[in-house]
Structures are given as C-alpha cells and as structure tokens.
Amino acid sequence: MRFRYILKLSAESFMQKKLRSWLTILGIVIGVAAVVSILSLSTGTQQVISSQLGGLGADIVTVSPGFNRASGMFGGGPGGGEGGGVATSTTGDHNLTTRDLAAIKSVPGVKAVDGIISDRLGVSYLAQSATLSVEGVDPLAWKVMTTSSLASGRYLTPGDGNVAVIGSRVASGVFKQAVLLNSQITIEGKPFKVAGILESSGSFGGSDSSIIIPIDAARIVIETVAPTHFSSIQVQVQDANSVNQTTNDISSKLMLVRHVNDNTKDFTVSSTQSIQQSISSIMGTLSLVLAGIAAISLLVGAIGIANTMFMSVMERTKQIGILKALGTTNFEVMQLFMMESAIVGLIGGLLGTFVGFIASGIIGEIGVSVIGNLGPRGGSMSLTAISPELVAFAIGFSTLLGIVSGVLPARRASKLQPTTALRYE
C-alpha cells in the first residue's frame, strides 16, 4: 500500500469521526497552549530583564554596606560577587568610608570610582512639595559612569555648587507644572539650579525619579550621612569581560582594609552581570516547573488519543480484515493508525501553538499595563517572545506525542487475523 493511500485513508477516518476527533484534539490544544504561553512569557520576561539591567552598565560594580548572611535572591555564583538580593538576615551596619574609597581605587582593573551619598528629602518647586530621592555624586566620576542620556542641558561639572540634574519623571511627573531647564528647585530649604534633565531610562535602578547634585552640596542637605561616609560606592571596571575577577579583587581588598573575614564581612559587592545571571537562573527554573505542571494536561491529551485510537480499531476491525485479505501487511496497518494519531497530534499542536501565543500576548499586555512601560529609553517592550524554535518544538512534540499514543492501538490492529476480523460484528 502506498504512503499516499495510507494518508488518504487516515484523513477519511478522521473526517468521519469529527466530534470525537475534535474533542481529542482539544486536550492536546489545551496542553500545548499552556506550555507555549508559559515558555514564551518566560523567555520574553528574561529578555526584558536583561535589557533593563543592561541599561545599568555591564561594567559597573556596586559596593553597599551590610552583608547578606542567608542566601539572597541575587546571590552570585562562583566568581560572580556576593549579589545583593533578599535575605533573612544581614550583619554589619557600618557605613563605607573614604578609606574604603581609596582602597578600591588601588585595585587593578578599576577605571573610575564614585562615592555616593543618598537620602529621600523634601523638594519644593513653585510652592509644591514632594519627597524625592537625592543623590550626591562626584561630578567627574558620575559623568564618566552614568548610562543616562541628557534630554536637555548638561551634566554636572567639578566646579558646580548648588546645581542639579533631574530625572525625566521629576521633570514632568511629580509636580503639576513641568520643571524647566535653568529653573530653581529647593532641597531642604537650599536653592538649586536645574542644569540638566535626563532622558527616561525605563530601566531598573534608573535615575528617572532622582535628583543628582554634587557631593559637596549633598553633604549640606543630607544630614544622615557622616562627612567621611558614603551610602554606596560605584565602580567602573576597565574591561567588562573581567567584571567577576575585579569584583572578587575589590571584595578581597575591602576585607583586608576593614579587618573582616568571610564570617564577619560587613559589606556587599554586586555587579549587574551577577544579578542578571541569578535572575535568569531563577526564571529558567520557575519556567521549567510551570511548564512541567502544564505538561500534565498534555499527558491527559495523550491518553485521550490512545483511547480514541483503541475505539477506532474496534470500529474498523472488519475494514482491517478486508485490507489484510487484499494483501496489506502488518506494518502498513500500523502505519495507517499511527498516521491517524499523528494527524490528531499535528492539528492539536498547530492550534495549541496559535492559542498559546494569543494567550501569552494578552497576559503580556496586561502585565505591561499593570507594571508600566518596560522599554529602554521610554520605548515599548513586549513580555512575550515568539521564536521559530519554540514553534517547531511545540508542533513537533505534539505530533510525536500523537504518534507515540497511537503505537499500542496500531500494534493491536496489525496483529488481528484476517479471518477473525472479517467475522467481527
């Protein structure tokens, strides 16, 4: 029997049992749609997070006071720094000092160092007040290290006094009237001239809601940080490929300067790369778990295919007897029924993939509307990632699942004796 004839018989049998066939296909559609939507959302979310973290600078390392004793969400792997995520306990509330800043500058591979002090302070503009994040930075180091672009105006310069650069949200989203370039804002009663306005970064940890001022002016308005202390220290490494090595070198140097060991460490060194790797690992594990749960419905669908094919064998027993009497081999009979189950799997995979992408798109749009715009520089970005590999995997796997589910019924059909099959009522 030619393959074309086998395909024709399988298609005719499928069309004769429309309701039963489509109910069987529905089980596959639900399973495939669930797996596809979860994987596409997971991949899209990872891409968004990578893009957002990439906007912070791949060559930037941050040193913060305090150390996470428990495993944090962003705990770095080998050579990846300590991370800086959520932990159940921390030790060490010591602030970073000018001595730490000098020690970091002496570490090989360090390009620039910026000691930062920050706090949330009262800010006024045209008789309106708000509490905003104010950061005091070294103007020269900050200009070299910042990944934020200017929408208008200029960056801070070493000779600046009461001068501020503000984020895009501070300029147009906090006060009723937009804060204009060269206008005056008041921070804790001290007047500051707006010399620059930053473009929207749209990234985690961006400066959209911050006010950046020179560190000398910041020490006047920020009274919670001692004159020789810093809230954090940002470091730019010379080579982004050596971030992990430089992170470890900084950690070792600070442990020596601060006279602490692994058990008494009171600071955290983290890099964007280590955080990104940890998030990707967590998202990957979560996606596998969720996809595994969703795959249970695929198992149910496979059982449905097997059940349908067993019923098909029983209904077509006499037809099998006639085919065998005409010289059809056992292998060709197996092909006939496995082809029918493959058609069910293929159609289920095609429809499931389509439904899965629609579902993930809807969920992604809802997510964006809830958490806001995630695109870099204020652009839009989707939480759904559709790849040819995912499409091929979904369709191929569902077709293979249909074939495997039809093996036992097809094998049973092939072993029927012609005389027995012809007498079947």
Say if 133 falls within a structural domain: yes
Rounded distance, CA 118 to CA 398, Å?
Answer: 55
Rounded distance, CA 71 to CA 284, Å?
Answer: 18
* 417 and 283 in a common domain: yes
* 405 and 284 in a common domain: yes
Pull the structure tokens for residue 362: 């809807």
Low-confidence ranges of the chain (pLDDT < 50): 70-81, 83-93, 376-379, 425
Rounded distance, CA 2 to CA 15, Å?
Answer: 20
- What DSSP state is assigned to residue 80? S
Cβ(232)–Cβ(96) below 8 Å: yes
Rounded distance, CA 142 to CA 209, Å?
Answer: 17
Length of the chain: 425
Pull the structure tokens for residue 279: 């998030």
* 403 and 294 in a common domain: yes
- Closest by Cα among 334, 383, 337, 332 to 357: 383
Say if 151 falls within a structural domain: yes
pTM over 0.75: no
The residue among 169, 194, 229 that closes a domain is: 229
Whole-number pLDDT of residue 104:
93
Say if 239 falls within a structural domain: no
* 41 and 127 in a common domain: no
Whole-number pLDDT of residue 36:
86
Q: Which domain holds residue 157?
A: 118-229
Whole-number pLDDT of residue 87:
37
* 216 and 298 in a common domain: no
* 284 and 223 in a common domain: no
Say if 244 falls within a structural domain: no
Rounded distance, CA 181 to CA 178, Å?
Answer: 10
- Closest by Cα among 249, 253, 251 to 268: 251
The residue among 194, 229, 264 that closes a domain is: 229
* 287 and 402 in a common domain: yes
Q: What is the tens place of the pLDDT at every residue in 77-128?
A: 333 445 444 333 344 445 899 999 999 999 998 999 999 999 999 999 998 9
- The count of structural domains within the chain is 2
Helix (H, G, I), strand (E, B) or coil at 28: helix
Rounded distance, CA 383 to CA 19, Å?
Answer: 36
* 317 and 219 in a common domain: no
* 142 and 22 in a common domain: no
Whole-number pLDDT of residue 384:
75
Say if 237 falls within a structural domain: no
Whole-number pLDDT of residue 420:
64
Say if 251 falls within a structural domain: no
* 418 and 293 in a common domain: yes
Whole-number pLDDT of residue 166:
93
- What DSSP state is assigned to residue 109? T
Helix (H, G, I), strand (E, B) or coil at 394: helix
Helix-helix angle 330-371:18-54, to 10 degrees: 40
* 382 and 297 in a common domain: yes
Whole-number pLDDT of residue 183:
93
The residue among 214, 229, 244 that closes a domain is: 229
Say if 376 falls within a structural domain: yes
Say if 265 falls within a structural domain: no
